[in-house]
Amino acid sequence: MRIGILVGGGDAPGLNAAIKAAVTKANELGYDTIGIKNGWAGLLETDARSISIDDVEEIHSRGGVILYTSRTNPFKIPNGPQKVIQNMKKLKINALIVMGGEDTLGVAQKLHETGVPVVGVPKTIDNDLSGTDYSIGFDTAVAIATDAIDRLRTTAEAHHRIIIVEVMGRNTGWIALYAGLAGGANMTLIPEVPLGLNQVYRLLKQRQANGKAYSIIAVAEGAKLLKEKEQLIVASEEKDEFGHPRLGGISRVLEDLIEKNTGLEVRSMILGHLQRGGSPTAFDRILAIRLATKAVELVKEKKFGQMASFQACDIVSVPLKKVMTGRKSVPTELYEMAKTFFK
């Protein structure tokens, strides 16, 4: 048995721990492992190298991903899927473990439908994959964003300012909600709940009237402004191979609007890729180890077309097809609970 390991989409802290676990478990079972470089691009070009247990011994605590990654979509390239299948044969790969979010695992599922033996591992700091409570990278991103909020609070307070902290979260507000709650943000704006700006102005003025001269607002990059129509703020209209524009900048737009409409002094900060960099938390390492070990077990059992998943503290498996039926949004009840702290 020769297992190919591939990582696609944005990197996430914990991926190297997952690679270490997959290689270690495969080694225990007597399987070979080959690392595909740069996501699906590596299978379009046969850019791969075999990975031994020695290669991975030290990598569990490292950020980034030793195999590199890309947002390449083989279904956007003429004969892309056929090339992937041919190159898997050339590399003598009998099974593929694919670590990714909705785009990468969407490709894995489509390939599986044509008979490719794949198993998925959920990875996205956005935590919006269905079928799993947590995805690799989310916990670290939340820890980084929470630390940022704690630090920004002290400078906001010292200057009697409003500080808006923009976190990642293209379609869902998991990072914003968790970091906002953990960091005691005075208001959190998420894509799932378009919020009227008047509510924001009212809260900030109310706090001012109550003698709280500073406030912290957490906002997900994909949060929408309620105007004539829901408006998404993009940093670039240019779309990636999966059709996503580059987000970023809603905090700047809010900064101007709040200053104009309340007369308060406002600053904003986009945390951006800081949330994806550096060492994973212990939680993300353990999650990655457990999920990747399960992925190798699924290969052993020939349960292809499945994703290893974390549900209620257990590691189980779910069909990739089911994962692809829709995103996991922040539940209304959770956001309603968080609203209790919008003060």
How would you classify residue 165: left for phi > 0, otherwise alpha for psi between -120 and 50, otherwise beta?
beta
Torsion 178-182-184-185 (CA) sign: negative
Q: Is 247 in the site for ligand F6P (CB under 6 A)?
A: yes
User: Toward ligand F6P, which CB reaches closer, 162 or 168?
Assistant: 168
Q: Catalytic site residue 256?
A: no
Residues 6+ apart with CB under 8 A from 262: 201, 204, 205
Encoded tokens for 122 = 């959920």
308, with CB counted inside 10 A (0-12, 13-18, 19+), is: buried
d(CA 257, CA 266): 10
Of the candidates 80, 78, 75, 112, the residue with the CA atom closest to the CA atom of residue 97: 112
User: Toward ligand F6P, which CB reaches closer, 207 or 276?
Assistant: 276
Q: Is 41 in the site for ligand F6P (CB under 6 A)?
A: no
| Binder of ligand F6P out of 5, 6, 7, 9 (CB under 6 A) | 9
Q: Is 10 in the site for ligand F6P (CB under 6 A)?
A: yes
| Binder of ligand F6P out of 60, 170, 224, 285 (CB under 6 A) | 170
User: Toward ligand F6P, which CB reaches closer, 69 or 317?
Assistant: 69
Q: Is 307 in the site for ligand F6P (CB under 6 A)?
A: no
Question: Minimal CB distance to ligand F6P: which residue?
Answer: 10
Min CB(232)–ligand F6P separation in Å:
11
Binding segment toward ligand F6P, per CB under 6 A, in 89-97, 150-158, 163-171, 209-217: 163-171
Q: How many residues does the chain have?
A: 343
User: Toward ligand F6P, which CB reaches closer, 9 or 117?
Assistant: 9
User: Toward ligand F6P, which CB reaches closer, 109 or 124?
Assistant: 124
Cβ neighbours of 164 (radius 10 Å): 27
Encoded tokens for 37 = 């470089």
Q: Which of 11, 103, 126, 284 is catalytic?
A: 126
Min CB(133)–ligand F6P separation in Å:
18
d(CA 69, CA 72): 9
Q: How far apart are the first and last CA of the chain?
A: 58
Contact predicate 247/232, CB 8 Å: yes
Site string for ligand F6P, 103-142 (x = CB under 6 A): ---------------------xxx----------------
Q: Which residues bind ligand F6P (CB under 6 A)?
A: 9-10, 101, 124-126, 168-170, 221, 246-247, 276
Kindly list the catalytic residues. 126
